[in-house]
Chains A and B, each alone.
Chain A
Amino acid sequence: MTPETYRIQIVSILGSVFLIVFIIELIRRRKLKEKYAILWLLAGLAIIIFSIWRDLLDILAFSLGVAYAPALLFLIAIVFGVVIMIHFSVVISDLTEKVKFLAQEIALQKQELENLRKNEAESDPKKA
Chain B
Amino acid sequence: MNRILIIIPAFNEEGNIARTVLEVFKIKNEISNTRIDVLVINDASRDNTYMEAKSTGAMVIDLPFNLGIGGAVQTGFKFALDKNYNIAVQVDGDGQHDPNFVPELIKPIIEGNCDMSIGSRFLVADKVGFQSTFMRRLGIRIFQQVNSWIIGQRITDNTSGFRAYSQKVISHCALDYPSDYPEPETVIELGLRGYHIVEIPVVMRQRLAGKSSISSMASLYYMVKVLLAIFINLFKKR
Contacts and interface: CB of A to CB of B under 8 A. Distances in A.
Interface of A: 100, 103-104, 106-108, 110-111, 115
Contacts of A111: 59-62, 79
25 contacts: A100-B67, A100-B71, A100-B179, A103-B63, A103-B64, A103-B65, A103-B71, A104-B71, A104-B74, A104-B75, A104-B78, A106-B64, A107-B41, A107-B61, A107-B62, A107-B75, A108-B61, A108-B75, A110-B61, A110-B62, A111-B59, A111-B60, A111-B61, A111-B62, A115-B59
B82 interface: yes
Interface residues of B, number: 16
Nearest to B77: A104
Contacts of B64: 103, 106-107
Contacts of A106: 64
Contact of A108 (B65, B78, B179): B78
A22 to B, nearest CB: 34
A108 to B, nearest CB: 6
Top 4 closest pairs, chain A to chain B, by CB: A104-B75, A107-B63, A111-B61, A107-B61
Contacts of A107: 41, 61-64, 75
A104 B63 contact: yes
Nearest to A115: B59
Chain A interface SS verdict (over half): helix
A108 B78 CA distance: 8
Contacts of A115: 59
Given A104-B63, A107-B41, 15 more contacts: A103-B63, A103-B64, A103-B71, A104-B71, A104-B75, A104-B78, A107-B62, A107-B63, A107-B64, A107-B75, A108-B75, A111-B60, A111-B61, A111-B79, A115-B59
B67 A104 contact: yes
Contacts of B82: 108
Contacts of B65: 103
Contacts of A100: 67, 71, 179
A108 B79 contact: yes
A103 B63 CA distance: 6
Nearest to B68: A100
B176 to A, nearest CB: 11
A113 to B, nearest CB: 12
B59 to A, nearest CB: 7
A111 B71 CA distance: 16
Contacts of A103: 63-65, 67, 71
B220 to A, nearest CB: 22
Contacts of B71: 100, 103-104
Interface in B44-79: 59-65, 67, 71, 74-75, 78-79
